[in-house]
Chains A and B, each alone.
Chain A
Amino acid sequence: MNINMTLIGQTIAFAIFVWFCIKYVWPPISNALHERQKKIADGLDAASRATRDLELAQERAEQTLRESKEQASQILEQANKRSAQMIEEAREQARAEGERLMASARSEIELEVNRAKEELRAQVSHLAIVGAERVLEASVDEKAHRELLDKLAAEL
């Protein structure tokens, strides 16, 4: 085991390698490492943010769905109510129309009865006159008895 200049040579080599490493080897590797660390951290951050956004969006979608369902049921209810109302109205109208028709028919019938009565009356008076003419076999002055017969007919 001879201690010799190798000792000093090795120390010099050590110093040079350390200096070179500090100056040219360590910085680029270390920088790349830290930059990647930062990049990954940013990526993870973005991912968690996206997850949160997704949750929010889902919640919003659910709420919108719930609201629209509610609205739909409201509209349905309104429509049901409206249709019931319309049916009621239609029934009412039909009844009124029916009543109106019945009333007009009744008045027409009355009119008809009156007219028939009038006609019947006129015929009776005529028949009476003809009958009387036959009975008397003589020509009765129609003009003279007219008044009498009319009176008779009015009494019918």
Chain B
Amino acid sequence: MAAGNEVSTTYYIQHHLQNLTFGKHPINGWSLADSAEEAREMGFWAIHLDTMGWSIAMGLLFIWLFRKAGKMATTGVPGGLQNAVEMVVEFIENLTRSTFHGRNPHIAPLALTLFVWILLMNSLKIIPVDYGPVLFAKLGVDYMKIVPTTDVNATLGMALGVFGLILYYNIKVKGAGGFARELSLTPFNHWALIPFNLVLEIVSLLVKPFSLAMRLFGNMFAGEVIFILIAMLPFWAIWVLDVPWAIFHILVVTLQAFIFTTLTIVYLSAAHEHH
């Protein structure tokens, strides 16, 4: 889209950053939001259909690919798909082995799921920003933001899942009492400092999922905004900035997936350790 006047520019950016929202509108009832205001008015009882749809699609793609490779897996000479899948699996296994110090066979598959899923969701960014909205507008759908990780709900949703696991393993490994003791008696092992410790530990505990979600969301959202801005250049000039930015994003996409995964393993490792 060529840059028009200020209103259309703002509209363009806002339109591309708006999710397809289905929810309970105070006036219209359960419906698709027609504008950003309507979506906002729906409050909590709304769902981003594009975020959910694309993230589940990517999750299913991951499950399907890896399940297929697992079914074909032979101990002989591996083929192309099996090679690629095994490379990823081995990478995650090594990462888990070097980062996670407890003994829990579920950590590596968890990390694999997170890594590949986030990688696939992030990779949707390489698709030009106009394709989603324009294509779906042709089909009669007003909004379509195809990269789930540019939606804070998606990243925070996953981070909440990780947070739940952190709590679960803390209580499972240390017991409820042990966990409470750790929260209240570290870092300063003195009864007078229990309130201080509690505040400190609870804040550091809550910061974990929040930082996970915000890091991924921030990186992906910022990248998306830049892509949208670049897309507003004259069509023959777009590639000059778009191509380097996309190439750079191949790195960002992988790096952010890796960081999310690694930090999850680190947090869960800490949850398994006694202090």
A interface, CB within 8 angstroms of B: 1-11, 13-18, 20-22, 24-33, 35-36, 39
Contacting residue for B69 out of A11, A29, A35, CB 8 A: A29
Are B51 and A10 in touch, CB under 8 angstroms? yes
B63 touches A20 (CB 8 A): yes
Chain A residues near B114 (CB-CB < 8 A)? 18
B66 with A11: CB separation less than 8 A:
no
User: Would A14 and B157 count as touching, CB distance under 8 A?
Assistant: yes
Instruction: Collect the chain A residues with CB atoms within 8 Å of residue B70's CB.
Output: 24-29, 32
Q: Tell me whether A18 and B47 are in contact in the complex, defined as CB-CB below 8 angstroms, given that A2-B21, A7-B153 are known contacts.
A: no
**B35 interface residue (CB < 8 Å to A):** no
Contacts of B21 in A (CB 8 A): 2, 4
CB distance A3 to B69 under 8 Å? no
- In the complex the two chains form, what is the Cα distance from A18 to B157 in whole Å? 13
Residues of B within 8 A of A36 (CB): 75-76, 78
CB–CB A3/B63 < 8 A? no
Expressed in whole angstroms, the Cα–Cα distance for A39 and B43 within the complex equals 58
Q: How far is the CB of A39 from chain B (nearest CB, A)?
A: 5
* Contact assessment for B71 and A10 in the assembled complex, using a CB-CB cutoff below 8 Å: no
Q: Are B153 and A3 in contact (CB under 8 A)?
A: yes
A13 to B48, CA, bound (A): 14
**CA of A24 to CA of B51, assembled, Å:** 25
> How far is it, in angstroms, between the C-alpha of A24 and the C-alpha of B73 when the chains are bound?
13
CB of B63 within 8 A of CB of A4, answer no
B71 touches A17 (CB 8 A): no
Interface of A is mostly: helix
Given contacts A4-B47, A7-B157, A39-B75, contact A25 B67 (CB under 8 A): yes
> Which chain B residues border A22 with CB–CB below 8 Å?
106, 109-110
Known: A4-B42, A5-B44, A21-B109. A10 touches B63 (CB 8 A): no
Most chain A beta carbons < 10 A, residue from B56, B66, B113: B113
Residue contact A25 to B46, C-beta cutoff 8 Å: no
Interface with A: B85-93, B133-141, B189-197, B247-255, which one? B85-93
**Cβ-defined partner of B112 (8 Å) among A5, A24, A26, A33:** A26
Q: Which of B75, B78, B160 contacts A11 (CB 8 A)?
A: B160
Q: Specify which of B40, B45, B109 is in contact with A25 (CB 8 Å cutoff).
A: B109
Interface digits, B163-175 against A, CB 8 Å rule (1 contact, 0 not)? 0100000000000
A55 to B45, CA, bound (A): 78
Given contacts A6-B52, A11-B158, contact A21 B63 (CB under 8 A): yes
B59 within 8 A of A: yes
Choose among B73, B152, B164 the residue that contacts A29 (Cβ–Cβ < 8 A): B73
Give 13 new A-B contacts, CB below 8 A, not counting A4-B45, A36-B78: A2-B42, A2-B43, A2-B46, A3-B153, A4-B43, A5-B23, A6-B48, A8-B157, A10-B153, A13-B56, A26-B112, A27-B70, A33-B93
- Whole-angstrom distance between the Cβ of B124 and the nearest chain A Cβ: 15
Shortest beta-carbon distance from B66 to chain A in Å: 5
From the candidates A14, A16, A27, A31, name the one contacting B158 in the complex (CB within 8 A): A14
Closest chain B CB from A50 CB (angstroms): 21
Complex partner residue of A18 from B42, B110, B154, CB under 8 angstroms: B110
Q: Which residues of A contact B43 (CB under 8 A)?
A: 2, 4
A8 to B46, CA, bound (A): 11
Residues of B within 8 A of A24 (CB): 67, 70
Chain B residue with the shortest CB-CB distance to A24: B67
Q: How far is B67's CA from A14's CA once the two chains are assembled, in angstroms?
A: 17
B12 at the interface (CB under 8 A from A): no
State in angstroms the CA–CA spacing of A17 and B59 once bound together. 7
